[in-house]
Amino acid sequence: MDKSIQITVFYILTHMGLIFFLYPANIIESTTAAHWIPICIGLFVHILIVIIYLTGLQFFPHKDLVSIYTASGATMTFLFLLPVGVYFLMINIIAVRAYSEIIMIIFLSKTPLWAIMGLLLFSATYLAYKGLKAIFQTGLILAILVLPLILFTIVVSFQNVDWRYIYPIWNDDFSFFNKSVYYKSFFAIGGSFLFLGFVHPVLPYRPKMVLLSVIAILPLFLISVYVPIMTFGQATSSNFLFPYVMTVDAIQLSWLMFNRVTMFFLLGLVIFITLFMALVLWKTARIMHAFLPLRNQGLLVILLAIFIFSCALFISDWKEIEMIFGWNTPLRFYVVFGVPLSVLILGLRQTKGETTP
């Protein structure tokens, strides 16, 4: 059964969750003018690695990433599978901690942190325990429920736009390459696509459909950065931790019966992030399963969730989150580039071996 719709929808949802919070501030901080240049470089990288990854995966129609690596020997397993596992684990800890802090900063300022983290992690763990099919089907239902609201918010966020803020269009200054904050923005760019290598034995999809969803999310990256800039200007929006959320806050619609559209927007995105966490949790458990073949993979999910929760409790402030985020960045680049390339090379080697016996 072709499950392309579920995969494409999920791809869009998780990226939305990643884009609209931290990405705009990272880009606005990394350059002062012509933001489309760093954005487009990131997008180009994104498209490139997704295409490489998809081509590589086509050589293994019935194997997921874990079985591809374990079948290619212990070296490959240690060189790639282990870092991917560590990377996923770190992403999970960061995501739980950072997004609960975001929820706290933005709307639940009086709720204790552990309760927010517990709630986020609980829903994610439950989904991950139920398995891949549950995660993706939930994604589809949530998309039908929440996506219209989010799209509505994105459309009305153009309300206070002053197009002249778009200038200057060109900037010769490429110093953003030297800034670590620019590399942090790759959290949104390379954060979620790896799941494509885990799902195809269970939920087969057509690569073309995935590319379609890649194209669908491209404008979101630009919107998330340019709408705040065109509303507030570069000088003002560089002060914001979440520029896009601030812009949504400034929307004034007297005909809408709700005063703050932000709430719906944020809750929608937090739901998407929960889905993302569920998937990452499942993937981490799947990788651990290769090293620790327990009878029940669900038990691993629960153990991991407890581990993540206790790790997240040890992170005390936003500075520390950013520090761990910084540590995670080199590993991210290794994983984001290494995995697609290695899969492609393994695939090419495999076909060579078959044609010349």
Binding residues (CB under 8 A) for another protein: these are: 32-33, 106, 108, 110-111, 115, 118-119, 122, 162, 164-169, 232-236, 239, 246, 249-252, 254, 259-260
251-259 contacts: CB < 8 A, separation 24 or more? 251/153, 251/156, 251/157, 251/159, 251/160, 252/159, 253/156, 253/159
CA-nearest of 187, 182, 225 to 46 is 187
CA-nearest of 48, 55, 45 to 346 is 55
Nearest residue (CB) to another protein, 59 versus 165: 165
Specify whether the CB–CB gap between 253 and 264 falls below 8 A: no
Burial class (CB in 10 A: 0-12, 13-18, 19+), 74: exposed
Q: How far is the CB of 24 from another protein (least distance, A)?
A: 16
Q: How far is the CB of 166 from another protein (least distance, A)?
A: 8
Q: What CA–CA distance (Å, rounded) separates 136 from 126? A: 13
Q: How far is the CB of 40 from another protein (least distance, A)?
A: 20
Nearest residue (CB) to another protein, 260 versus 349: 260
Nearest residue (CB) to another protein, 1 versus 235: 235
Specify whether the CB–CB gap between 188 and 18 falls below 8 A: yes
Cα-Cα-Cα-Cα torsion 283, 90, 29, 211, nearest 10 degrees, comes to -10
Nearest residue (CB) to another protein, 90 versus 127: 127
| Entry field: residues in the chain | 357
- Helix, coil or strand: residue 237: helix
Nearest residue (CB) to another protein, 51 versus 166: 166
Q: What CA–CA distance (Å, rounded) separates 88 from 90? A: 5
Question: In this structure, what are the phi and psi dihedrals at residue 106, rounded to the nearest 5 degrees?
Answer: -85, -45
Nearest residue (CB) to another protein, 4 versus 238: 238
Q: What CA–CA distance (Å, rounded) separates 37 from 71? A: 41
Q: What CA–CA distance (Å, rounded) separates 309 from 303? A: 10
Q: How far is the CB of 54 from another protein (least distance, A)?
A: 37
Q: How far is the CB of 178 from another protein (least distance, A)?
A: 18
Specify whether the CB–CB gap between 197 and 57 falls below 8 A: yes
Nearest residue (CB) to another protein, 118 versus 338: 118
Q: Which two tokens stand for residue 142?
A: 């949530």
Q: How far is the CB of 94 from another protein (least distance, A)?
A: 22
Nearest residue (CB) to another protein, 231 versus 328: 231
Specify whether the CB–CB gap between 26 and 37 falls below 8 A: no
Q: How far is the CB of 241 from another protein (least distance, A)?
A: 10
Specify whether the CB–CB gap between 233 and 243 falls below 8 A: no
Nearest residue (CB) to another protein, 117 versus 280: 117
350: which residues sit within 8 A by CB, 6+ positions away? Answer: 59, 60
Q: How far is the CB of 186 from another protein (least distance, A)?
A: 25
Q: How far is the CB of 20 from another protein (least distance, A)?
A: 16
Return the number of other C-beta atoms located less than 10 Å from residue 31's C-beta: 22
